Each structure stands twice: as structure tokens, then as C-alpha cells.
Amino acid sequence: MLSQNLYQLCKCLFLHNLKLNSVNVARRIHSSSEKRSDSESKEQTGQKCETEELPQNTENSNFGRLHIPVMLEEVVKCLSPQPGQRFLDMTFGAGGHTTALLEKASGITVYALDRDPTAYKIAQQLSEAYPKQIQPLLGQFSQSEALLISSGVEPGTLDGVLLDAGCSSVQFDTPERGFSLQKDGPLDMRMDSDRYPDMPTAADVVNALDQQAIASILRTYGEERHARKIAAAIVQARSIYPITRTQQLASIVAGAFPSSALYARKDLLQRPAHIATKTFQGLRIFVNDELHELFIGLRTAEKFLKPGGRLVALSFHSLEDRIIKRFLHGIDMTEKYNLGSKQKIRQALRNSSRGEGRQESPCGKSNLKWTFIQKKVLTPQAKDIQTNPRGRSAKLRAAIKI
């Protein structure tokens, strides 16, 4: 059992998340399309990724194998790199998007941020292939402002920012990181455990928090409608043995349901998804404070983009997409969910204090701060889903800072 201190830490983290998170904890909405956005199972594929060991040379193809960049064509098109421009890739991962930007035009500079030291090492290696064009930055979105400033980047000066939310295949496919419910490993799920070894792991959360708090995490961050039942099963199981392994947790969750329910849920490709998928998503988001981080990341992107600079944000589940959508439309994150999106956009425009001279577009295409590059959210093409099923739930939103 974990110490009282750790329990308090988890609880503090939980309350901090609830308070700061731009997602309203109590009021969840499910639009019919979002209901099926089973993004957490980005990992539910047979996509192969060797090991966490880094490739020995920096040839692009080697990095590409670690994580297939999602909607690459669309991302590059929306960012529209021009010779000499400067970009921030807030989620460098294995560098697929960064490489494509560097290849698209000459003299591009990319500030390559990631909270994961493994990604940072990949960025360092890749920077050898693109001398002076990649500036690796190790840190979270919430630390990116300070990192950029200390790298000599002034607010309002970047030409483009990419934010490709969530986890990379490098993380999912390394069982020791504890993200995968398919491969057994320690129940960890922290993206930057090397940097913050004292931060709570997913195991700490399931072993230390009370049943109600666990249910709340699963409901809020996993959008798991059986959260109470799963939390009860977790609490019962941990009274016998501490829960320390990913497969152990997957079995405990599965044990709370009849065997027919184990793979009864379907992912976006109508493939069976394990009943514990949403539990894993909820824990991962909570442990990494992902939604709060996302909101801070978007604010930092806006601050460092120049007028005319482009933001591309990729999300993989409805919680992330809702934050991005609201941010770009200027909708208050605490706004009621039951307003239609056009009503919310109109309300955001009405609420704006800088009302003079603004242009209200009837289709909500622009607000005060952003012009949308395309009217509708982009999703992956069928051919991309075929080659990279992990990216199937992606939603791309792109906008130009006014």
C-alpha cells in the first residue's frame, strides 16, 4: 500500500486537474459522432515498433518506423512551410512531422519540443542530419514558454505551430512504459517518468485513491460509462494484491463484466476493442495531466505565433478535440455543453470585449483571434487509415492567427 503522502499527492493532482482542466468535469457531452470516437485505442493495432532503443543513424526512414506521423500531407499543407520560416513542433515524438516540414522548404528551423526524454534524444539525433535546423527542447507544454524564451524565441515571431496530442507509438509500443493493455508491463503511463520519478504512476492512482475518486477519473478522462463498476472491481482486487502490471489491471477490469462483453465494444474501424481501453485512457490522461497541458499548449502557441502564423492541432478523442475547438472559437472552457456550437460561437463573439470592427462570419469561420484554414475539421483519408490504423480517430483543426 502507498503512503499517506502519496495518497495526498494523488488527491492534490486530482483536484488540481479538476480545477484547472478546461473540460467540465461534471457535465459531459456526447455528440453522436463523438460517442464513437474511441480514440484511446490509438494503440489497438498490430502496428509494429521494435524497441525503445534509438536508431543508430539519422536516416528519416528509421525514425518513421518508430511512429507513423498522422495526416502528414494535410499537416504540411495547412502549415504551408516557406523557405526560411520558423516552426514549433510541440509534440516532436519520433520527428515524422518535423522531418516533413524540413524537407518541404529550404532553411526551415524547427523548435522540437517533447516532454519525453526518449523523443528528445531522437530530436538530438535528427538534428545531426539537419545541422542548426532543429532545436531540441525537453519539457512540457506548460514549460514551453520558458524554454522558447531561453532559446531566444520572442513571442509573436513563429510562422507555425504543430500540436499532435497524446502518445506516440514509441511510448505505446514499449511495454516497460506501461501504456499498453496488450503487452504486459509495469502500470506506469508517465510520459516523463525519467524527469519526474516521484510523480504518481497509474499504479499509484489505482492503489491509493478511494473508489469514488477512481470512478471520477475513469468517467471524466476515460468517458467510461461503467466507471463505478470498474472502480469497485479495482478496489476489491487491490485489497488482495496491489495492482502493479498492465495486464493485471486489464484482467481486473475484464473480470467486472461477463466474458461476452470483453470485446463487445468496437473501435472506429468496427474492430473489437478491449473493455479496459477507456480505463487505460482515463488513467493516462490523468497521470500526465494531459487536458490541462493541452490548454496551456494552445495558449503558448497563440502567444508565440506571429499574426498570419499557422496553428495545426491534431486530436484523437473528443475530450481533446473539444478543448481545441473551443480554444479556436474563443468559447469559454466552462461554457455549458448543451448549447449548439453555433450558439456558443455567437455567444463567444458577443462576450468579446474587443467587439468593434469585428467580422462575424455566418458559418462561424472566423472569430477575433483566428481565421480557419478550412471550414470543417479534417479527418484521415481511407488510404492513411489503411496504412496507419492508429491514427484513425484523428481530427485536424488548422487556423491562422489574426
Ligand X SMILES: C[S@@+](CC[C@H](N)C(=O)[O-])C[C@H]1O[C@@H](n2cnc3c(N)ncnc32)[C@H](O)[C@@H]1O
Alpha carbons 60 and 43: distance in angstroms, whole number: 23
CA distance 307 to 277: 40
- Kindly state whether residue 91 participates in binding ligand X, applying the rule CB under 6 A: yes
Nearer to ligand X, 145 or 360 (CB): 145
Residue whose CB is less far from ligand X, 224 or 293: 293
40 forms part of the interface with ligand X (CB under 6 A) = no
Q: Name which of 53 and 356 has its Cβ closer to ligand X.
A: 53
Q: What is the DSSP letter of 397?
A: E
If binding is defined by CB under 6 A, does position 293 make contact with ligand X? yes
Told to check if 115 binds ligand X by CB under 6 A, we report yes
The single residue among 38, 116, 159, 302 that binds ligand X, judged by CB under 6 A, is: 116
* CB neighbour list of residue 144: distance below 8 Å, 6 or more residues apart: 88, 90, 113, 137, 297, 300
Q: Which is nearer to ligand X, 141 or 370 (CB)?
A: 141
**Could you say whether residue 96 binds ligand X (CB under 6 A)?**
yes
Is 78:376 a contact under the CB 8 Å cutoff?
Answer: no
3-state secondary structure of 234: helix
Integer Cα distance of 377 and 390 in angstroms: 18
Q: Which is nearer to ligand X, 7 or 172 (CB)?
A: 172
All three cell numbers of 337, joined, read: 455543453
**Distance from C-alpha of 86 to C-alpha of 81, rounded to nearest angstrom:** 9
Query: Does 141 help bind ligand X (rule: CB under 6 A)?
Result: yes
- Comparing CB distances to ligand X, the nearer of 76 and 235 is 76
Q: Does 67 contact ligand X by CB under 6 A? A: yes
For the record, the C-alpha cell of 202 comes out as 497509474
Q: Does 396 bind ligand X (CB under 6 A)?
A: no
CB 163 within 8 A of CB 98: no
Interaction between residue 391 and ligand X (CB under 6 A):
no
Stretch that binds ligand X, among 46-54, 166-174, 217-225, 256-264 (CB under 6 A): 166-174
How many helices (H) and strands (E) the chain has is answered by 17, 9
- For ligand X, which residue of 140, 279, 318, 393 counts as binding (CB under 6 A)? 140
160 binds ligand X (CB under 6 A): no
Pick the closer one to ligand X by CB: 85 or 91.
91
Sole window of 91-99, 150-158, 258-266, 379-387 interacting with ligand X (rule: CB under 6 A): 91-99
Cβ 367 vs Cβ 348: under 8 Å: yes
Spatial separation of the C-alpha atoms in residues 188 and 203, rounded to whole Å: 6
- Considering CB under 6 A, how many residues would be counted as binding ligand X? 21
Collapse the DSSP code of 322 into the 3-class scheme (helix H, G, I; strand E, B; otherwise coil) and give the result: helix
Task: Please report the beta strands in 141-199, taking only residues with DSSP state E, as ranges in sequence order.
Answer: 158-164
SS3 content of the chain, % helix, strand, coil (to 5): 45, 15, 40
User: Which of 373, 379, 388, 327 is CA-nearest to residue 79?
Assistant: 373
Q: CB 98 → ligand X: shortest distance, Å?
A: 7
Q: By C-beta, is 191 or 385 nearer to ligand X?
A: 191
Residue ranges in 366-385 that form contacts with ligand X under rule CB under 6 A: none
Q: Does 166 bind ligand X (CB under 6 A)?
A: yes
Nearer to ligand X, 190 or 329 (CB): 190
**Least separation in angstroms between CB 95 and ligand X:** 5
Question: Least Å distance between CB 355 and ligand X?
Answer: 33
| Amino acid letter, residue 275 | I
* 136 binds ligand X, rule: CB under 6 A: no
Q: How far is the CB of 189 from ligand X (least distance, A)?
A: 12
Q: Tell me the three cell numbers of residue 212.
A: 469514488
In contact, 264 and 109? CB cutoff 8 Å = no
Taking CB under 6 A as the criterion, the residue among 13, 37, 97, 321 binding ligand X is: 97
* d(C-alpha 8, C-alpha 254), whole Å: 29
Which residues of this chain interact with ligand X, rule CB under 6 A? 67, 69, 91, 93-97, 113-116, 119, 140-141, 164, 166-168, 191, 293
